[in-house]
Amino acid sequence: MDRFFYPQSIVVIGVSEKPDNLARNILTNLRTFGYRGDLYAVGRQEGEVEGVPIVTSLDQLPDGIDLAVILTPAPTVPDLMEACGRKSIRRVVIESGGFGEFSEEGRLLEQRLLEVARRWGIRFVGPNCISVVNLETGVCLPFAPLSPEMARRGRASVVSQSGGVSITYLDRLSAAGVGVNKVVSIGNKTDLDETDYLAYLLGDPGTEIVVLYLESLSDGRRLLDLARSASKPIVVHKANRGEAGQRIAASHTAALADDDRIVSAAFRQVGILRAEGFRDAVAMVQGLSLPPVRGDHLVVISRSGGHAVIAADAAEAYGFQLPPLPEAFARRVRGFFRADVIAPTNPLDLGVIFDFDLYARIVEECLRSLAPDAILLVNTYGPTEMEGGRRLARKVESIVRETGLPVALCVYAPGEEARRVQEMVGLPVFTEIDEAMRGLAAARDWHRWQSIRAPSPTYETAEPTGALHSLPTGTLTTDQALTLCQAYGIPVAPWERASTPEGAATAADRLGYPVALKVLSPEVIHKTDVGGVVLGLAGPEVVREAAERVLARAPEGASLMVQRMVKDGIEVILGGKQDPTFGPVVMFGLGGIYVEVLGEVSFRVAPLTRFDAESMIDEVRSSRLLGGVRGSPPADREGLVRALLALSRLMLDHPRLLEIDVNPLIVSPEGVVAVDARARVE
């Protein structure tokens, strides 16, 4: 990967002297950004661009050039890749479009690229991309002209599935005081995908924060594995969020689990910070560029009372606390002034003070006396106060660097003043309170993840029991699905199978009353839709009559499950499905019929850790019922955690198991019991 970002020699293929030639812009960018390696150019006609002679064949150049950049019509690219192979060029960037994103013919060309690359041991970026930037070395390969003014070297690196988006992030992160170290536009990611670049950047000394813009995920599980062990924050701007087309679902889990919902849950599970758009991502990266935010305690200092109120609302929305300021602190701060103008409140309103130097002293006193987890300083000023505002920004920068504590500076000033302040200081400058709060929250969440994350998940459940090496294909009946759950340690309400009304009555006598009666048939997905469930049966004659009615409405060949009724508890649903991006996924939510009505569920990618299972439960607001209501004893939360861990292992052990519901699982103070389940096997 180093040869993409640190090549000692580069050849650009597709160059001409024509003013509208795009490949010549690549050479111009390399010269503009100060690339010092050897440059070569290949085109259809001889000539010269940026002092680089254009030759008409790679054969005229030395062997072993580090990197080739190709920008020619798509049909010509496979043969050019072949020529690169013959010249011992093992790294190629293909900026040309017209491949699989364009047509079936283009898809076949793309396949040829892979075949040629594999034969010669070539790795390549793209096709259909805007290329690679490394501001450390002046490698700047986009075919669009760029200027150093829009590309400030810094600590964030960007991997983008869109060329245009990569340039937007280059510009915005530079303008936001963070700066950019490396950028790669990955295009169709035919060879290298986002996880390859991420793995490299996580080990890259020049990169401290990684930003990914993705429209699809190539290898979801590898992405999660990389993020789980990363020591650098990862911000992902994931677009293309609409629901994927879904087959008819046999379970609640599959019906409720659109791709984007699982993507968000998977990111939370491994500490990836998901951005909602450009502004959100940039705000996050700004916050992550500050010193660590180690908790929720925040002090807001504002020159404007109205801005202070807005900041208080934003703090609450992002989960920050604004602890009251002690009177002793207020007395010390009042000593800075001739008049008693400071009220000990948080937010601290300094609207009647016009000495910006005192603002910096108050910030220092806050950090020294109160030890908050972060400070938000909101400075509003007009045209006659520019010098004071800029002086304060420089002082805040020095405070942050000297103390190693996070102070988010938010500037409201006329015209381009905030931009000018940003150009003067190396500290991120926010222009909106909400964005400043978002940045601080991202820094807090990343620090929290670092402190709580577990090592790679391991099984926390006992070995399954029973002959489960091969599951039958198709829809499992309730008894088959419950048997599977029971083998993995999920407690199941006692039941027996019966084929006749008389057999059902006999089974009920053995199990003990009251009992439930359920139809068993792979043709019946939702038993209640066909009257296939009868509850609370309390005698043999009642069981016989109910069994006759159920069998009369059931498909031919159906049988019956007779199950002992479970006493009252809280109904929850556990589910699992095979996700095309992440593989086995586990779901939790309020159970019974309400799961379809409320749709309040949480997801995690298997394997689950105990922390994952606990956080799944906490994420569902209705799970507070498990703690006991109006004096009732709490339900068996530990049993629920064990059931989630067991279902996680079940899904991993059976990749042919497409989806499963355990619904309801009854959770009571005495334990957890599954009373119904259904599943579908590939």
Note the pLDDT of residue 527: 78
Mean pLDDT in residue range 268-275: 96
Helix or strand or coil: residue 50? Answer: coil
pLDDT in tens, 599-623: 689 999 999 999 999 999 999 887 7
Confidence band, pLDDT 50/70/90 cuts, at residue 214: very high
Distance CA(537)–CA(682), nearest Å, equals 36
pLDDT at residue 456 greater than cutoff 80: no
Q: Output the pLDDT for position 251.
A: 44
Tens digits of per-residue pLDDT, 533-564?
A: 999 999 999 999 999 999 998 888 899 999 99
Burial of 383 (0-12, 13-18, 19+ CB in 10 A): exposed
Cβ density class 523-556: b for 16+ within 10 Å, e for less: ebeebeebebbbeebeebebbbebbeebbeebee
* pLDDT (mean) for 255-271: 81
Q: Are β-strands 52-55 and 47-49 bridged in parallel, bridged antiparallel, or unpaired?
A: antiparallel
- Residue 465: predicted pLDDT: 73
What is the tens place of the pLDDT at every residue in 17-48?
999 999 999 999 999 999 999 999 999 999 99
Q: pLDDT at position 329, please?
A: 84
Residue 568 DSSP class: P
> How many whole angstroms from its chain centre is CA 231?
16
Whether residue 101 has pLDDT greater than 70: yes
Q: Say whether pLDDT at 392 is over 80.
A: yes
- At residue 245 the predicted structure's pLDDT band, cuts being 50, 70 and 90, is very low
**pLDDT score recorded for residue 604:** 96
What pLDDT does 355 receive?
A: 83
Percent of the chain with pLDDT over 90: 77
Rounded CA-CA distance 295/374 in Å is: 8
Q: Which CATH superfamily hosts domain 494-564?
A: ATP-grasp fold, A domain (3.30.1490.20)
Q: Exposed, middle or buried, 473 (CB in 10 Å: 0-12/13-18/19+)?
A: exposed
The reply to whether 285-452 and 570-681 are identical in fold is no
Residue 244 has a pLDDT of: 45
Confidence of residue 140 (pLDDT cuts 50, 70, 90): very high
The CATH code that applies to domain 285-452 is: 3.40.50.261
What value does the mean pLDDT of the chain take? 91
Omega of the bond prior to 607 within 30 degrees of 0, cis? Answer: yes
- How far lies 485's CA from each of 254, 312, 649, in Å? 18, 48, 11
Q: What's the whole-number mean pLDDT along residues 627-635?
A: 80
Residue 341's pLDDT is 56
Segment 486-500 shows an average pLDDT of 95
Whether 508 has a pLDDT exceeding 60, the answer reads yes
**Which pTM value belongs to this model?**
0.90
Provide the pLDDT for residue 548. Answer: 94
Residue 454, pLDDT above cutoff 80: no
Q: Regarding the domain delimited by 2-233, which CATH topology (the fold level of the hierarchy) does it fall under?
A: Rossmann fold (3.40.50)
CA distance 540 to 550: 15
Cα dihedral sign, 370-371-372-375: positive
Arithmetic mean of pLDDT, 419-447 = 96
| Highest mean pLDDT of the ranges 242-246, 351-355, 376-380, 460-464 | 376-380
Burial label, 594 (beta-carbon count in 10 A; 0-12, 13-18, 19+): middle
Which segment of 265-279, 318-332, 443-457, 478-492 scores lowest on mean pLDDT? 443-457
Average pLDDT on 435-456 reads 89
Quickly state the pLDDT bin for 531 (edges 50, 70, 90).
confident
Q: How many alpha carbons fall within 13 Å on the CB side of residue 319? A: 12
The span from the CA of 147 to the CA of 436, in Å, is 28
Query: Which range is least confidently modeled, 40-44, 206-210, 465-469?
Result: 465-469
Residue 598, pLDDT score: 63
Q: Please compute the mean of the pLDDT values over residues 648-654 and round it to a whole number.
A: 94
For residues 495 and 511, is the Cβ–Cβ distance under 8 A?
Answer: yes
Confidence of residue 526 (pLDDT cuts 50, 70, 90): confident
Contact (CB, 8 A) for 188 and 110: yes
Question: What is the distance between the alpha carbons of residues 375 and 377, in angstroms, rounded to a whole number?
Answer: 6
Q: Which two tokens stand for residue 408?
A: 């988010």
- Residues 288-338 have pLDDT tens digits of 999 999 999 999 999 999 999 999 999 999 999 999 988 888 777 777 665
**Burial bucket for residue 677 (CB in 10 Å: 0-12, 13-18, 19+):** buried
Instruction: Sketch the domain layout of the chain as residue ranges.
Output: 2-233, 285-452, 494-564, 570-681
Chain-centre distance for alpha carbon 499: 50
Q: What is the mean pLDDT of residues 487-499?
A: 95
The lowest-confidence range among 156-170, 179-193, 235-249 is 235-249
- 463 burial type by CB count under 10 A (0-12 exposed, 13-18 middle, 19+ buried): exposed
Torsion angle defined by CA atoms of residues 355, 357, 362 and 364, in that order, rounded to the nearest 10 degrees: 180
Rounded to 10 deg, the angle between the 163-175 and 278-289 helix axes is 40
pLDDT at 243: 53
Reported as a pLDDT band with limits 50, 70 and 90, residue 592 is: low
pLDDT at 486 over 70: yes
pLDDT band of residue 628 (cuts 50, 70, 90) is: confident
Q: Which CATH architecture is the domain 570-681 placed in?
A: 2-Layer Sandwich (3.30)
Distance CA 594, CA 574 (A): 13
Instruction: Give the pLDDT band (50/70/90) at residue 257.
Output: very low
Question: What is residue 530's predicted lDDT score, i.e. its pLDDT?
Answer: 77
